[in-house]
């Protein structure tokens, strides 16, 4: 839904200043379909205002500064640092990353902060940026939440939770 709503949002508000000064009702109207639109609109506007006032209109380059902005948690801050600045500040943990990291037995937690810490300990830093992208792709393609397709998965032979891996172990 976000991918459907952002084009109109960006067209209506092309600059950070536009978000900071727009009537909140206009932002709400454009993001209504995403759910929790009132809170999101307040966060968008608060983010824009704080970046303009406290950071001279520049998106901060640290996790601490980013998470101090309205609506920005660790996941969003890590995405911003990775995508804008190529800084591997941590591992982005969304539902796909959490679920698949559990299946790979890289973590036993359901808490995103603990999962991130576990993944950072398990993965070399050079893989932190790409890990979540790979896991999101995997989670949308062959390792979906409703039904895993282990036989079609490129990691089926090595995944500890894979039915393909289990069959291979039984054959030995």
- The pLDDT value recorded for residue 142 is 87
Which DSSP string do the residues of the chain spell out, in sequence order?
-HHHHHHHHHHH--SHHHHHHS-HHHHHHHHGGGSSHHHHHHHHHHHHHHHHHHSTTPPPSSHHHHHTSTT--HHHHHHHHHHHH----S----HHHHHHHHHTTS-----HHHHHHHHHHHS-GGGHHHHHHHHHHHHHTTB-SS-B-GGG-TTTTT-TT-HHHHHHHHH-
Which residue intervals of the chain bear CATH 1.10.1670.10? 95-171
Q: Which fold has domain 95-171?
A: Endonuclease Iii, domain 2 (1.10.1670)
Task: Answer yes or no: is pLDDT of 61 > 70.
Answer: yes
Task: Answer yes or no: is pLDDT of 71 > 90.
Answer: yes
Q: What is the mean pLDDT of residues 11-35?
A: 97
Q: What is the mean pLDDT of residues 83-111?
A: 95
Tell me if the pTM is above 0.75: yes
Task: Answer yes or no: is pLDDT of 143 > 80.
Answer: yes
Task: Answer yes or no: is pLDDT of 157 > 80.
Answer: yes
Task: Answer yes or no: is pLDDT of 131 > 80.
Answer: yes
Q: Which fold has domain 1-58?
A: Endonuclease III; domain 1 (1.10.340)
Which residue intervals of the chain bear CATH 1.10.340.30? 1-58
Task: Answer yes or no: is pLDDT of 167 > 90.
Answer: no
Task: Answer yes or no: is pLDDT of 150 > 80.
Answer: yes
């Amino acid at each position: 839904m976000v991918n459907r709503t952002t084009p109109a949002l960006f067209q209506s508000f092309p600059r950070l200043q536009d978000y900071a000064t727009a009537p909140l009702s206009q932002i709400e109207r454009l993001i209504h379909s995403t759910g929790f639109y009132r809170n999101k609109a307040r966060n968008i506007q608060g983010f824009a205002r704080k970046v303009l006032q406290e950071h001279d209109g520049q998106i901060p380059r640290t996790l601490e500064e980013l998470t101090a902005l309205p609506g920005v948690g660790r996941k969003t801050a890590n995405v911003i640092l990775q995508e804008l600045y190529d800084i591997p500040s941590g591992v982005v943990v969304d539902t796909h990353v959490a679920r698949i990291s559990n299946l790979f037995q890289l973590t036993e937690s359901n808490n995103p902060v603990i999962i991130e810490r576990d993944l950072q300990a398990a993965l070399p830093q050079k893989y932190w940026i790409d890990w979540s992208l790979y896991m999101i792709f995997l989670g949308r393609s062959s390792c979906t939440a409703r039904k895993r397709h282990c036989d079609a998965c490129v990691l089926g032979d090595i995944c500890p939770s894979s039915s393909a891996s289990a069959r291979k172990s039984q054959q030995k």
